[in-house]
Every structure is written in structure tokens, then in C-alpha cells.
Amino acid sequence: MTDDVLISVERNVGRIRLNRPKAIHALTREMCDAMSEVLLAWRDDPSVQIVVIDHAEGRGFCAGGDVVMLARSGATDAVDAKAFFYSEYRLNHLLFTYPKPTVAIMDGITMGGGVGISQPCEYRVATENTRLAMPETGIGLFPDVGGGWYLPRLPGRVGQFMALTGARLDAGECLYLGLATHYIEQASLEDLYDRIVQAPSRLKGTLGAAQPVAPQAKIEANLGLITKLFASDRLEEVMAALEADDSDWAQSELATLKSKSPLSCKVSLRLLAEGANRNSFAEEMRAEYALAGRIVRTHDFREGVRALLIDKDNNPHWDPPTPEQVDDEMLDILFEPLPRHEQWNPFPETGE
């Protein structure tokens, strides 16, 4: 166990609280293992009926994973990075297949790994502070932790838009798109938890009764443009469509897209295209694990982490520098399945 995860049971409710506030609760391998261990213990424990996942103090639910560690590992043998992904994806899959009701409180920043532990939950609560995003193309990574499963199943081409641009969604937008199931104001969260504890068997009604009117979904006004301009699975065609549209929105998104890693953007589009046709979440995690172990060893990942998180000059030098220079052969190498003995596998208890 680790102090970075607080675990408790009150009456029939198990509570997992992320407790790494200085890092906005970014996940470590130890945190993933601690959560998986207790979830497996509670899985067949009749005294635990519901699991609530939230954060202790701080301004966000979970900012992602420890990407600086991943970049340092990728610069050598990537062993630690692969071990982290293996544990994290097992946790994601365990939550996806969990037989008991799970509630994620997505208060504040919910990005990357935070999306990975909230989206598998049956109930996903957003607050006025929620900012949900998959910003990985800005650091040379890709929307993992199940992004290849969730994003292509969103309305229209919103998933592709999110994957490419790293767009931050608020509570109203998360509700509108189904990324959240409920909206509750932050000031009411502790009261909500107390009411869940008082009546675990009435969880759905308790969440519904606590829900005020949610903010309007601003993204709704741009759905037509997103569907039209992000229609292609080819990055060059998406950028050409944005270039040809003279609206302020299109030009703003084009500028954003030009700041991202071309390699990561192409990887992301291919991941979503393939993920849309996968038959199981375990199959998705297996493909993402193979891809993640290779992408952390690329120049763009190390450079993106350097520019945005270490030196913080916000001036990454991508290689290849343009979409046209990222060819299919580069992608084929990254997407190659691993040999069977190196593949990711879920916990045996999940039955897959």
C-alpha cells in the first residue's frame, strides 16, 4: 500500500481517495497497484456494495500519469515505463469489468490517466470545476488508458477532435457527450458521499436527487464543424479542411493542431480508427500496451516532456516536423503486435 492512495470502508461503501496533491494526483505504478489490490479484495466481499473513487485535497481529480518518469525510462530500456503501463491498464480493465457499482468524482482536472480511471466507472460525476481532456499529442504520446475505445464511440467526430487538439471539456460538455452521467456542485460533494453511505442500495436515486441544472454544453454549437472538418482519418486532410475554413474557430483549432506532434497525431487517428472496430476492452488494452512501450522511446515523446514539463520552454522540436514526413511504415512499426509472451493480459479474476 502507499500513502498516495487513501482507502477506507464506511458501512457498505468502499472509498478510494487519490492523495498526491502536489502532482494533482498523477498516478504512479504503486498507486495503480494499491487501487487494483483493494478493488480485487472488495470484488467478492459482500460487506462492500459500492466503490467511490475521488481525490483528497487539491485542485484536480487526476492529472494523468508520471510522464517525466516515463520519458526517463524511455530514454533507456523502457522497462519501468512498460511496468507502469501494465499496472495502469490492468486497473483500467478491472474497473471496466467491475461487477459492483462504481462512482468516480471528476472534480477539477481530469486528464489522461484520470480519464482512464473515471470512464470505466458506472457513474461519473462532474462538477463546475471539471476540466476533462486527453492532451497527449502535445507531449508526443497518444490518448491511451482506453482512449482508443472511448473516443471513437463519442458522437460524430468529437473523439478525433479531442485526441488531436487536447480540447478541455467542462461539466456541461461532459454530460452532453456522455463522459459524465451526473452534475453536482463541488460544495455538495461531501453531503453526497454521506447520503450514499446512509443508503447504498439507493445509489442511483441519491445521485439523481442531488443533481442541479448543469451548465450549457458549449461544444454543441460546434458539433457540425467538428463533424465536417475532422471527418478524415488522414491528418493532412484534417489540416487542409481547417485551412480552407475561414471561421475563427477553425483557424484557432488549426493553430492548436500545428503545435502538436505530427507523429502522435497520426498515431492517435489510427488508434481510434482501429479501436472503433475492436470487440473487447481487453483487446484495446493489449494493443495500447504494445504501442505505449514503443512510443515512449521515440524522440517526440522525450522532446514533448522536455519542452512542456521539464524545461518548460513550450517549444518542442518534433521529428518528423510535418505530417507528410510521417509515413505508413513508421506507424506500422509502432502498431506491430507484441509476441504472445510479451503481451499485456488482464487480471485472471476478470474472466478475459
Q: What is the DSSP string of 172-183?
A: HHHHHHTS-SEE
pLDDT tens figures, 6-45: 999 999 999 999 999 999 999 999 999 999 999 999 999 9
* Grid cell of 36 as nine digits: 487494483
β-pair partners for 271: none
CB 50 within 8 A of CB 13: yes
User: Can you give the pLDDT at residue 31?
Assistant: 97
In the chain the domains, ranked by start, together with CATH numbers, are: 5-350 (3.90.226.10)
Per-residue confidence of the chain (352 residues) as pLDDT tens digits? Answer: 679 999 999 999 999 999 999 999 999 999 999 999 999 999 999 999 999 999 998 789 999 999 999 999 999 999 999 999 999 999 999 999 999 999 999 999 999 999 999 999 999 999 999 999 999 999 999 999 999 999 999 999 999 999 999 999 999 999 999 999 999 999 999 999 999 999 999 999 999 998 888 889 999 999 999 999 999 999 999 999 999 999 999 999 999 999 999 999 999 999 999 999 999 999 999 999 999 999 999 999 999 999 999 999 999 999 999 999 999 999 999 999 999 999 999 999 887 7
Alpha carbon distances (Å) from 16 to 38, 101, 102, 104, 107: 9, 14, 11, 10, 14
Peptide bond preceding 346: is omega within 30 degrees of 0, i.e. cis?
A: no
Burial code of 319-343, b = ≥16 C-beta within 10 A, e = fewer?
A: ebeebeebeeeebeebeeeeeeeee
CA Rg value for the chain = 20
Whole-Å CA distances, 308 to 135, 258, 260, 301: 12, 15, 12, 11
Residue 107 pairs in a beta bridge with none
Determine the Cα–Cα distance for residues 309 and 141; give it in Å rounded to an integer.
13
* Angle (deg, nearest 10), helices 328-335 and 262-275: 60
Q: What is the pLDDT of residue 211?
A: 83
Strands 13-18 and 5-10, sheet pairing: antiparallel
Where does the chain have alpha helices with state H?
29-43, 67-74, 79-96, 113-118, 147-150, 158-165, 171-177, 189-198, 203-209, 223-229, 235-244, 248-258, 262-275, 281-295, 299-305, 328-335
pLDDT at position 1, please? 62
CA atoms within 13 A on the CB side of 335: 21
Spatial distance between the Cα atoms of 241 and 238, rounded to a whole number of angstroms: 5
| Assigned C-alpha cell, 48 | 462492500
Catalytic site positions: 65, 113, 136, 144
Helices vs strands, H then E, count in the chain: 16, 9
d(CA 268, CA 266): 5
What is the rounded CA–CA span in Å between residue 16 and residue 104?
10
